[in-house]
Chains A and B, each alone.
Chain A
Amino acid sequence: MRPPTRRRFFALSAPLLGLTACKKTVPSEIGAPLSAYGERSPHEKSVRSVKESVTPGSGATFTPLQDLEGIITPSSLHYERHHAGIPDIDPAQHQILVHGLVERPLIFTMDDLRRFPSISRIYFLECSGNSNLEEAGDPQPTPQSSAGLLSCSEWTGVPLSSLLHAAGLKPEAKWVVAEGADACMMARSIPIEKALDDILVAYAQNGEPLRPAQGYPVRLVVPGWEGNINVKWLHRLHVLNQPAMTRDETSHYTDLMPDGTARIFTFEMEAKSIITRPAGGQMLGHGPGSYEVTGLAWSGGGKIQRVEISTDGGATWKDAVLQDPILSKAATRFRFEWNWNGQPAALQSRCTDETGYVQPSLDDLVRVRGRFAYYHCNAIKTWFVKQDGSVSHA
């Protein structure tokens, strides 16, 4: 018989606390001194995954989703995707030029920017290439490798509309090209409707100035839209009557379909979820009994309305509990109490957003988009539990 108490789920890598407990937990020596800038406990080792690359300034690192709690990603673990490295920018020298179809071309310093009224909002960021190997038929072994190009932060900044209105948009203004001050001057075109809606010119993340890898000293945050268009190290906004058709909105970040056509300007990241515990690389370490299933859901379409859990590979579904806060275009934490009977199981999460959009199965997605779309894969992810309690991707 198993005790009825609810047991916490532990990952394989977690220390076996029970065996070492009671052995000198209260020290008799004075502890470490105060410090000017805090560090995490040396016992905590969770890190982003970094791939070796011949061009180390270009590539991506993945957030360890399986180790995170709540909805906020620590800035130090926010995923990275750079195209020419992280520039070292002196904020005192940094400027943003607004020009093109405006009444008054303007240059803003960082001080100028902070003179506008600011707002703080919690939004997810997701690289549109996130989970592309799932669609390509190469299921990834952990939440980090499967969907780790997803992070969520509190961003503080000035509405982009404030800068555009200060410069005065001409009636023929239809697009805004945003350009970064990285070595490749990465640039993307944004429709004016979105530019005037909810985009932030953000200078802070999770209560502190942006990290260099996240665009210090200033970046765009384009809520709900693919990561690439959230231009980092922002230094130029060019108002136009048409898109510029930059490299990163034509040759990249376009979705190749089975008929050979490619979808262009596929901005929104559709509703998606993933179970982060128990998940691939982990272990149901206490035999049959009660476990918590938890994970994250998010949608570029707005708020998450519902998350359902299946333990039988999608045959039957039960509602998970959504943890407050449930915010538009932010990650939402879901939780589900599961009584594992000790038999093989296939765990899935499926989310629905406030527009009624339901996260698709991988089969349904591949049937329409094929295996080579490369971007915008939001399919349901399956974790397989074996009888010995091990959890894997296959």
Chain B
Amino acid sequence: MFVTNTEEIPGKKIVTCHGVVSGSTVRAKHVGRDIMAGLKNIVGGELKGYTELLIDAREQAFERLQEQARQLGANAVVNVRFSTSSVAAGASEIYIYGTAVTVE
């Protein structure tokens, strides 16, 4: 499935528009990552544990987006936008939305 954050897919023509689709996950860290992050706070630098956590969450949200587009009968999603926010203590929500279209 084509997923892009441009208006159109270069080289393809949009035939049908199916509306707005979205994929989201809410993922929490666990105590182990917390402790490592706490230690890392002393020296600074990238918190690899959290980065990996959010990458996994984003992948899952991505799959859900594509699944929802597939259910509507689309084969591409254009104009995709990402958003991250924290909704609970220690958990953050990854939200991806776009327009599902059929291209040929």
A and B from one complex: no
